[in-house]
Amino acid sequence: MDVVLPALHGVWGEDGGVQKLLEDAGVPFIGTGAAEAEAAFDKVRSSTAMRELGYPVLESTGCSGSRADLELEIEQWMASRKLCQATEKLVVKPARAGSSVGVSVVNGAKEAAHACRALVEQGIGKEALVEVYARGGIEFTAIVLEGPHGPVALMPTEVELIDAVLEDSASLEDNMIFNYRRKYLPSDQVRYHTPPRVPKDIVQAIRRGAVSLFRDMKLKDIARIDGWVLGTKFGHISAPDASRQYLLCPGGLVTFTDINIMSGMEQTSFLFQQAAEAGFSHAAVLREVLFHSCCRSGVPLPNHLIQSTEGAGKSARRKVFVIFGGNTSERQVSLMSGTNIWLKLRSFKDLDVTPFLLASVECADSTPVHEYPVYELPYANVLRHTVEEVIESCQCSLSESNAHIQVLSELVVDDCKNVGLTDAGSLWEPFRNPPPPKRVKMSEFVHMAKSEGAVVFNAIHGGAGENGMLQQLFEEEGVMFTGSGSSASALCMDKAMTGDCIQSLAQEGIYSARKRTISLNDLPTGTHESAPWTFQRLASELGSNELCVKPGSDGCSTGVARLVCDEDLVKYVCAVRQGLAQIPPDTFQSPHGIIEMPLPPPSALLFEPFISSRRIVVCQQKSRGGEQLQCVGDSEWVEITVGVVGVKGNMHAFNPSITVAESAVLSLEEKFQGGTGINLTPPPPIVALPTAISQAKLRIEKVADLLGIDGFARIDAFMHVRTGELIIIEANTVPGMTPSTVLFHQALEETPPMFPKDFFRSVVNYALEEKP
């Protein structure tokens, strides 16, 4: 091998472990060396080092979770710092872990000691850092890149945490922690602002300090440095020495807390967000990092990596408009899907791909579809965590305040070029600043697509994007678009109608679970309340003692729960009526994790019998030194999801997948967040007979053809593990297309394998075929 990019996070990846192996083997690699990585990764060591180097650092102490006198030790430290031992708010972090794993906010020494011991019990680590809570501060993160002539900080990002309305009415500050869930889950619990909403001198102080710390800690190539802007009167922090006085600005004090030697590499990670603000595409910034690392190691680069071909020859390319967003609870997943599609299709030289956001979340419910606002997005505006963030960034770009951002952007680009990062600003050439977003009506978007001969790649999940309304608009105007037509979309969106349609296939071993859609107003909000529908009446009508409830017109696992009694039903209905963002774990009688709820709340709920399926678990086999699958329970049904592709009337089914869920209902993370859940494609023989899988695929194709599905879709069902008979749950005509979607697993199982970008290209090609 020529060079290694260690894209490993946390223990082993960032603590110097893999770096030491590579150094010992004499293999060049991107990033910080082993000894320096180890020092930066350990939060206790790095905090001490920053304090000794003269940086202002929050008061903290290192603790061992295994010490018997831990609480006394923390009390003594708090007393020495004049902190209230019973109530002072503290942050407990594992000393050696990444990605915000195990971070918690506590009150006082007793809770801090408990949190430290919990880290030991959970196997996260024995050592912890107990740190003063940065009350009233503004959290930020800054990417530092190293060029041929030194390091440079990109445009920092402010991390704003949004309080989730929880059952226990926890205060905003109690939930103000940037934990693993908030960092990676597609929901409106966190917003990023690039640059931070602080004066220019503070932004520049963050950038200057991050570069200085990068040098002082002897980091290499790339790093992400986190910290806070605190009030100038914040007391529990070490004072900066004479050489760090620039961190004390009139409007706040800049302090650094965490050093990450490798940034996350997800499609909208801080690295790519901040790089885009400096005019780098994803490929360009990675090319710069690779180029500098190879030059430092004496490794020659191939010419095709040195020369960028992005943006060449646009006039002769097929136009593709990727549209995503909307106003349903699925809009954040839609943003992830649309971003993924846009980035994958950009790699085809014969396509000119433009991203658009449907901003109907701004509209009243009565707004007609053709009046919905749509934004044509510049590169950087796409790379946001939520739809609301994208809209906010567009409004900011179109406002007078954008002049402040443009000044900062020009400074960052100039600084990048001064250190030899020559691709800075390449996204905007021949202009110095990025073009602003364009806001149009949906009718104007449709006209634009028609006049330019563009294919509209529809990535809007739920609502107008999936119920046939947009499809009908496209059909009426003769616009080419991906996926099913208006009639099939409307049919599949209505789960009750889908079930009625599928009943005609019962003789072929294809069934539909009984369904009942009930208005929220007809459901009880108290166990003794008289209401048209009670749990007993629903259970009797659906023929089941356990029910599955979900929003009447949403999917992607938002609001899906298992109910077993009146109390469960009342709790669920109350959560919907109160507009809760989440239902906490184990609220209902059956064990479950956090349930993300649809916002805005639905006006109707869909009830089905809860079908007990075969539970698949992963067991440790100590005698064999590995892991093994086990099937638990007597049920002969497993829940599967199957992708279908093709043209209407001739759809092809992929191999089905099963996901090993932590509870009875797949969570939002298990469906759409990388690194969670275990997908098995196809199900192994221990789970289902190969003959059953073959029969199930044929039946899925019959369902797709009966429903009139076109292009691509995902069908969810329960499959009998011996016969391949199916109980259809639902058909999704605009399925999730995030980087971790199970459809990619299935496409890769095809012969020959279909890679993600080729999957999306095939969907575009189907749209170009004349509709039957």
- Could you tell me if 641 and 573 lie in one domain? no
Integer Cα distance of 102 and 117 in angstroms: 11
Confidence band (pLDDT; 50, 70, 90) for 402? Answer: confident
- CATH (domain of 380): 3.40.50.20
**Predicted local distance difference test score (pLDDT) of residue 182:** 53
Indicate the pLDDT class of residue 575, thresholds 50, 70 and 90.
Answer: very high
| Token pair belonging to 674 | 């990388």
Residue 387 resides in a domain = yes
Rounded Cα–Cα distance for residues 490 and 372 (Å)? 19
- Which among 70, 100, 133 is the end of a domain? 133
pLDDT (mean) for 293-297: 88
| Residue at 729 is within a domain | yes
Q: Would you call 319 exposed, middle or buried from its count of C-beta atoms within 10 A (0-12, 13-18, 19+)?
A: middle
Residue 351 pLDDT greater than 50, yes or no: yes
Residues 498 and 470 in one domain: no
Contact 146, 416 (CB under 8 A): no
- What residue type is assigned to position 660 of the chain? V
For residue 137, pLDDT beyond 50: yes
Which pLDDT tens digit goes with each residue over 585-599?
999 999 888 888 887
**Does residue 652 sit in the same domain as residue 533?**
no
Strand-pair category, 318-325 with 351-358: parallel
**302 near 278, Cβ under 8 Å?**
no
Confidence band (pLDDT; 50, 70, 90) for 723?
very high
> pLDDT tier at 165 (50, 70, 90 boundaries)?
very low
Segment among 179-183, 438-442, 476-480 with least mean pLDDT: 179-183
Helices (H), 435-583: 442-451, 469-477, 486-493, 495-502, 535-542, 566-577
For residue 554, is pLDDT > 90? no
- Asked if 562 and 643 sit in the same domain, the reply is no
Q: Report the percentage of the chain scoring pLDDT > 90.
A: 69
Please say which residue of 96, 113, 133 terminates a domain.
Answer: 133
pLDDT of residue 140: 97
Q: 179 pLDDT exceeds 60?
A: no
Mean pLDDT of the chain: 89
Res 315: pLDDT: 60
In a domain, 670, yes or no: yes
287 pLDDT more than 80: yes
Write out the two tokens for 370: 């053709």
Listing DSSP states for 143-197 in one string gives: EEEEETTEEEE---EEEEEPPP--TT---TGGG----HHHHHS-STTEEEESS-S
Q: Which helix (H) or strand (E) holds 609?
A: strand 604-609
pLDDT in tens, 320-338: 999 999 988 788 889 999 9
Q: Note the pLDDT of residue 650.
A: 95
User: What's the average model confidence in pLDDT over 514-531?
Assistant: 85
> What's the average model confidence in pLDDT over 685-692?
94
Range of the domain at 535: 523-609
Prior bond of 195 cis (ω within 30°): yes
* 752 shares a domain with 603: no
Residue of 69 and 188 predicted with greater confidence = 69
pLDDT at 354 over 70: yes
Q: Indicate the number of domains in the chain.
A: 4
Q: Return all residues near 435 (Cβ < 8 A) that are at least 6 apart.
A: 378, 428
Three-state SS at 69: coil
Q: Which residue has the tokens 């619990």?
A: 189
| Main-chain dihedrals φ then ψ at residue 265, nearest 5 degrees | -120, 20
Whether residue 369 sits in one domain with residue 467: yes
356/374 Cα distance (integer angstroms): 7
Name the pLDDT band for 601 (thresholds 50, 70, 90).
Answer: confident
CATH number (domain holding residue 560): 3.30.1490
The percent of residues above 70 in pLDDT, for the chain, comes to 90
Residues 617 and 545 in one domain: no
pLDDT attached to residue 592: 87
Same domain, 604 and 625: no
Residue with the larger pLDDT of the pair 175 and 490 = 490
Render pLDDT for 608-656 as a digit per residue (tens, 0 to 9).
999 888 777 777 665 555 667 777 778 899 999 999 999 999 999 999 9
Q: Which two tokens stand for residue 372?
A: 């919905």
Which of the two residues, 614 and 177, has the higher pLDDT score? 614
Secondary structure of residue 702 in the 3-state scheme:
helix
The average pLDDT across 490-498 equals 91
**415 within some domain:** no
Residue 427 in domain: no
Confidence of residue 763 (pLDDT cuts 50, 70, 90): very high
pLDDT at position 167 is 40
- Residue 340 CA to residue 601 CA, distance in Å, equals 27
Q: What share of the chain is helix, strand, coil (3-state, %, to 5)?
A: 35, 25, 40
Q: Residue 308: which pLDDT band, with cuts at 50, 70 and 90?
A: low
For residue 59, what pLDDT band results from cuts at 50, 70 and 90? very high
Provide mean pLDDT across the span 752-767. 96
pLDDT of residue 172: 42
- Same domain assignment for residues 329 and 451: yes
Q: What is the pLDDT of residues 33-49, one digit of tens each?
A: 999 999 999 999 999 99
| Within a domain: 553 | yes
**Residue type (1 letter), 330:** E
562: in domain: yes
Of the candidate ranges 176-180, 202-206, 487-491, 498-502, the one whose mean pLDDT is the lowest: 176-180
We report the CATH number of the domain holding residue 105 as 3.30.1490.20
Q: What is the pLDDT of residue 161?
A: 82
**C-alpha–C-alpha distance, residues 707 and 702, integer Å:** 9
Rg of the chain in Å (alpha carbons): 27
Q: Does the pLDDT value for residue 52 go beyond 90?
A: yes
Q: What are phi and psi of 347, to 5 degrees?
A: -75, -10
Domain boundary among 541, 576, 609: 609
Residues 603 and 636 in one domain: no
Q: How far apart are CA 354 and CA 375, in angstroms?
A: 11
Res 171: pLDDT: 42
Is 20 among the domain residues?
A: no
Examine the domain organization and report whether 588 and 643 are in the same domain. no
Q: What is the CATH number of the domain that holds 678?
A: 3.30.470.20
Q: Do residues 675 and 605 both lie within one domain?
A: no
Q: Reply yes or no on whether the pLDDT at 490 is more than 60.
A: yes
pLDDT at 173: 43
